[in-house]
Amino acid sequence: MRSLIVSTRGLQRAMLLVGITLVVLFVVLAVFAPWIAPYGFNQTGVDGVRFGTQQPPSAQNWWGTTVGGQDVFSRVIYGARTAVSVIVLAVTLSLSVGVPLGLLSGYLGGTLDRALVLVTDALYAFPSLLLAIVVSIVLAGGSSGVVGGILAAAISITVVFIPQYFRVVRNATLAVKAEPYVDAARVIGTRTPRILFGHVLSNVRQTVPVIATLNASEAILTLAGLGFLGFGIEPSSAAEWGYDLNKAMPDATNGIWWTGVFPGLAIVLMVIGVTLVGESLNDVLNPMLRTRTGSVTTADEEEVEREYAQAVTSSGLDEAELDDAARIDPDVRRVAALSLTDLAVSFRTDAEPVRAVDRISFDVAPGEVVAVVGESGSGKSVSSRAVLGLLPATAEVSGSATIRSEEGEVTELLGLPPRRLRTIRGRRIAMIFQEPGTALDPVRTIGWQIVETLRAHTQLSRTDAQARAVELLELVGLPDPEDRVDYYPHQLSGGQKQRVMIAMAIALEPDVIIADEPTTALDVTVQAAIIELLLDLRERLGTAIVLITHNMGVVADMADRAVVMYRGRIIEQAPTDRLFAAPRHPYTRRLLGAVPHLGHGTGGPDVAEDAPPVLTTSGLVVEFRGGLGRPDFRAVDDVDLQIRRGEVLGLVGESGSGKSTLGRVAVGLQKPTAGTVTVAGTDIGGMSDRALRDLRGRFGFVFQDPAASLNPHMTISDCVAEPLRVQSGLSDTQRRAKVAALLERVELPPAFARRYPHELSGGQRQRVSLARALALDPDLLIADEPTSALDVSVQATVLDLFGELQRELGFACLFITHDLAVVDAVANRVAVMRGGRIVEEGSRADVLRNPREDYTRQLIAAAPVPDPAEQRRRRAERGSLLSDVD
């Protein structure tokens, strides 16, 4: 209890202390009621002398007496005993039934799920108090003795609450079972009970304290309602607050307040107490909200900081030389459309203030593209949101951010009142957000959203604004704009949604557009088309563009100048050509050196000609059942593939091409519709999960998102040890030693074994995923986009580690990615997927240097390289090759 309280602070601690105090008070009253209450709950006198009825508070009866002549104080004390008994019993029964049913229904699905949902929905449709009354009458005829009465009341409340537990746990289970860490458990052959209680329940259970305390609160009210209406415990058997409130109703109109106030106050205080405890526990018991120290620096930022310190130390440059790299060159000073001067942003936190942006200065001229680049925690996005006034109330902003119009009018943006700032957003400065799928309102058509932007700043009629919306969609290259103006966001592809966001940004022809990672979530060909669109709009409208990105290839392709940020500071800014050709700051040099360059890769180690095949697919087909009236969807279509021992096959393609589905089939996470899947000589395609369990030690899987692939409620030691626990007979001591050896192999210190995943950086978490995948020395490793969620310098480190381990252990690997430069660095052979089919396959050199298929040539032409001069040449050579991409 002490550690629980110490782990809280501020208002959270106050809420928890108040809640615990109230709950403990009522529990003590319940347990020690016979010793605390001066009289029995039905006692009407002492030593033959009656108390009298409806007597006001006095020395003999502190809270007065009831209409029946009982002591109010004693009845409130004994009422606490009744309430606590019923609540504990009802919540325990509800948990014991509702949680397991919710887990099984959500995880197993099928007929069981449909039947349980139907039954619980039917129960949920009844008013809770009415249902409790019906159950109470059925069980006890409306009244009973103390034991039977408490049991009947508890069961009545349990029947009401089981559907609530069921629905909450089932919905949480449906979400959790789709998480990669559950798939990771399935890959290694973890049995269903352990998955349910070790992985699913551990991540669902944080919702249980909240629903349990809310149920406890409702149980108090339901119990009071039953007693108030005469369906509770027999009054002669136990004290009930609801019964006392019923008897006190006539008293309220006669000025006899004490008979109703004290039972009512007890109900209110008990409800408040359990609610405060539950809400506080929901935060305190979540390990993702715990930190080991008061530091607010994330593990990702710490890893980047180490890279920075190593780069600066090894360079030998002094502070003056480093500061000089961050200054704006005198020859690029000009009249700026947007100018930032000494911009600083900090956030107030419970631990300590966080300085996110530290006095940065740069500007962007009309018609210029300035790229702001940096890794996690560098302050790129925070600085842009500060300019637009989009930061939360905890942010403190200082410095200057000015915008200049074509007429020369200069406006200071920082400190503007919200009403004035709204007139500037969209009209003079606009923003394109990173993820168009979440930036667009899903319940409004795209035309409505563009019209809303236009009418908020102009006097256009709805008809004229609608016509302007069509023009804007045509300007940004959306096909059939007259029809698609009435589409909803979900009816458009990712690239089309980003075009809509750009149309909204340019609707009022602003002087400045801030594009925050506008291509990050897009396929490479769509990314190239969006870059072309932004550059075309820059030329036609003369708009100044601030491009925020971590993709150095996009910077080389698009930017005139680049600003490099690290930990909230600008460490270098220069024209793009010079920055790439001769970076001055050592961190910039290391950052550029870590970027994989398509055409410069060396691939994986050579594989012996007689190496045995580890994975073979033949005529592989995977179909997913279509919805009502829709045909089945074929995700994988007649795929023949082979990977030999020691070989890395790079599987590339765009979203929806079937890459990940093929990887899931290879390890038995997805059953094929037709064809064969052979791993180490065994056809696993038709095998059940039970039959596959003994073979799963031959598989390893590294997932795309390292944060989602590790159970947040398990320590690193438990995550890495799970395959050993499931597939080996090692003792606890042997498993700990093996875990330490695996962590050492992936270059992590042994102390990390006691940490939780959220306490590690993205690169460190991916190393843990790699250690877990290699725990059983698998024959086959599936790496599904293993570096796409990592910063560029961390990605380089993970790829180097992967290469070393692959050469040392000689496992076969299916390396799934959309990044051709990464494939160029690690693969022996390359297969290109499109629409579920392999459209081209061959050696790395043949596919990436001399592709046969137009689609492969499109992918290669669309991938930007981190070299401005080379990228200009590639842009000129590709011509109209990408003209059909939308």
Burial of 400 (0-12, 13-18, 19+ CB in 10 A): middle
| Residue 532's pLDDT band (cuts 50, 70, 90) | confident
How far CA 355 is from CA of 358, 385, 564, in Å, comes to 7, 15, 17
Task: Check whether 303 has a pLDDT greater than 80.
Answer: no
- Of 9-18, 293-302, 502-511, 869-878, the least confident: 293-302
Higher pLDDT, 610 or 648: 648
**Do 534 and 515 touch, CB atoms closer than 8 A?**
yes
Q: Computed over its alpha carbons, how large is the radius of gyration of the chain?
A: 33
pLDDT at 142: 47
Task: Check whether 886 has a pLDDT greater than 60.
Answer: no
pLDDT at 432: 87
pLDDT average, residue stretch 596-615: 86
- What three-state secondary structure class fits 67? coil
Q: Across all residues in the chain, what is the average pLDDT?
A: 83
Residue range 613-849 forms a domain whose CATH class is alpha beta
- Report the distance separating Cα 493 and Cα 499, nearest Å: 10
pLDDT at 292: 40
- Of 307-321, 444-458, 592-606, the least confident: 307-321
How far CA 540 is from CA of 506, 537, 546, in Å, comes to 11, 5, 17
pLDDT at 291: 41
pLDDT average, residue stretch 823-848: 92
Q: What is the pTM of this model?
A: 0.78
Name the residue with tokens 């197993």. 108
Domain 300-327+366-372+418-594 and domain 613-849, same fold? Reply is yes
pLDDT average, residue stretch 6-16: 65
| Residue 309's pLDDT band (cuts 50, 70, 90) | low
- Of 34-38, 103-107, 160-164, 511-515, the least confident: 160-164
Q: Could you tell me the CATH superfamily of domain 300-327+366-372+418-594? A: P-loop containing nucleotide triphosphate hydrolases (3.40.50.300)
Q: 617: closest CA among 569, 651, 655?
A: 651
pLDDT at 297: 47
Q: 601: closest CA among 830, 409, 348, 299?
A: 830
| Residue 188's pLDDT band (cuts 50, 70, 90) | confident
pLDDT average, residue stretch 553-559: 92
pLDDT at 868: 93
- Of 285-289, 422-426, 828-832, the least confident: 285-289
Task: Check whether 221 has a pLDDT greater than 50.
Answer: yes
Tens of pLDDT along 343-400? 999 988 766 778 889 899 999 999 999 999 988 778 888 898 898 888 888 889 999 9
Share of the chain above pLDDT 70, in %: 89
| Residue 327's pLDDT band (cuts 50, 70, 90) | low
Q: 397: closest CA among 386, 413, 406, 407?
A: 386
pLDDT average, residue stretch 784-805: 83
Q: Read out DSSP for 333-363?
A: ----SEEEEEEEEEE--SS--EEEEEEEEEE
Q: Read out DSSP for 291-305?
A: -SSS----HHHHHHH
Domain ranges in the chain? 2-39+61-285, 300-327+366-372+418-594, 613-849
| Residue 295's pLDDT band (cuts 50, 70, 90) | very low
Beta-strand pair 338-347/354-364: antiparallel
pLDDT at 296: 42
Beta-strand pair 682-683/674-679: antiparallel
Task: Check whether 645 has a pLDDT greater than 60.
Answer: yes
| Residue 625's pLDDT band (cuts 50, 70, 90) | confident
Which of left, alpha, beta for 447 (phi over 0: left; psi -120 to 50: alpha)? alpha
Residue type (1 letter), 43: Q
Task: Check whether 579 has a pLDDT greater than 60.
Answer: yes
pLDDT average, residue stretch 655-671: 88
Burial of 699 (0-12, 13-18, 19+ CB in 10 A): buried
Tens of pLDDT along 57-66? 988 888 988 8
The correct answer on CATH 1.10.3720.10 for the domain covering 2-39+61-285 is: yes
